[in-house]
Amino acid sequence: MPNPQIQNALISVSDKTGLTEFARGLVAAGITIYASGGTRRHLETAGIQVQEVAAYTGFPEMMDGRIKTLHPKIHGGILGRTDHQEDLDAMATHGVVPFGLVVVNLYPFETTISQPGVSPADAIEQIDIGGPTLVRGAAKNHAYVAIASSPSQYPAIRNEIESNGGVSDTLRRELAGAAFAHTAAYDTAIANYFVRPDTNNADKPSTDCFERRINLAATHQVTLRYGENPHQSAALYASSNADPNSLVRAEQLNGKELSYNNLLDLDAALSAASSLPTPSVVVLKHNNPCGAATAPTLGAATQKAWDGDPASAFGSILGFNVPVDLAAAECLAEPGKFVEAIIAPDFEPAALELLTTKPKWRSNVRLLRVGKVAPGTGALQIRSISGGYLLQQADNHADEVSAWHQPTEQHATEEQLANLKFAWSICRHVKSNAIVFVKDCGLVGVGAGQMSRVDAVEIAIRKAGDRSSGAVLASDAFFPFDDSIHNAAQAGIVAVIQPGGSRRDEEVIAACNEHNLPMLLTGRRHFRH
* 221-228, Cβ contacts within 8 angstroms, sequence gap of 24 or more: 221/248, 222/257, 224/257, 224/258, 224/259, 224/260, 224/263, 225/257, 225/259, 226/259, 226/260, 227/260, 228/260, 228/261
Query: Strand pairing of 101-104 and 366-369?
Result: unpaired
Mapped to the 3 state alphabet, what secondary structure does 65-82 carry? CCECCCCHHHHHHHHCCC
What are the DSSP calls for 339-399, one per residue? EEEEEES-B-HHHHHHHTTSSTTTTT-EEEE----------EEEEEETTEEEEEE-S-SPP
Residue type, 340: E
How many other C-beta atoms can be found within 10 angstroms of the C-beta atom of residue 260?
18
Cα three-residue angle 248-122-116, rounded to 5 degrees:
45
In terms of Cβ atoms closer than 10 Å to its own Cβ (0-12, 13-18, 19+), residue 180 is middle
3-state secondary structure of 20: helix
Q: Which residues pair with 218 in a beta bridge?
A: 239
Choose the catalytic residue: 71, 286, 337, 515. Answer: 286
Give dist(CA 22, CA 208) in Å, integer: 47
Query: Strand pairing of 495-498 and 472-475?
Result: parallel
Give dist(CA 185, CA 188) in Å, integer: 5
What Cα–Cα distance (Å) separates residue 325 from each residue in 64, 277, 301, 329, 463?
51, 17, 12, 6, 29
Give dist(CA 93, CA 49) in Å, integer: 27
62 Cβ neighbours under 8 A, 6+ residues apart: none
Q: On the CB side of 439, how many CA atoms lie within 13 Å of its CA?
A: 20
286 catalytically annotated: yes
397 catalytically annotated: no
Ramachandran area for residue 482 (φ above 0: left; ψ -120 to 50: alpha; else beta): alpha
Q: Which residues are catalytic?
A: 140, 286
